[in-house]
Amino acid sequence: MDLQALLTISVANKVFANPKRIALLQQIQICGSISQGAKLAGMSYKTAWDSVKDMNIRLPEPVVHSEKGGKGGGGAKLTAFGERLLQMYALTDQMQDMVLAALQDQTIPMNNLLDVMAHLSLKTSARNQLSGTILSLDNSLTSTGSNHDDLNVCLQVELTNGLQLNAGITQSSCERLSLAVGKPILVLFKAPAVMLSNTKQPDQTLNQLPCVVQDIHSNTQTTEVSLALVGKYSLDNRTAQMIYASIDTRLANKLKLVVGGEYYAAFSASQTIVACMS
Extents of the domains making up the chain: 9-103, 113-275
Q: Is the pLDDT of residue 66 over 50?
A: yes
Whether 9-103 shares its CATH topology with 113-275 is answered: no
Q: Is the pLDDT of residue 190 over 70?
A: yes
Query: Does domain 113-275 fall into CATH 3.90.1150.10?
Result: no
How far from 38 is each of 6, 9, 219, CA to CA, in Å? 20, 20, 62
pTM score, whole prediction: 0.65
Tell me: the pLDDT tens digits for 212-257?
A: 999 999 999 999 999 999 987 655 555 678 999 999 999 999 999 9
The pLDDT value given to residue 92: 86
Burial 94-107 (b: 16+ CB within 10 A, else e): ebeebbeebeeeee
CATH of the domain spanning 9-103 = 1.10.10.10
Candidates 83, 94, 84, 87; CA nearest to 117 is 94
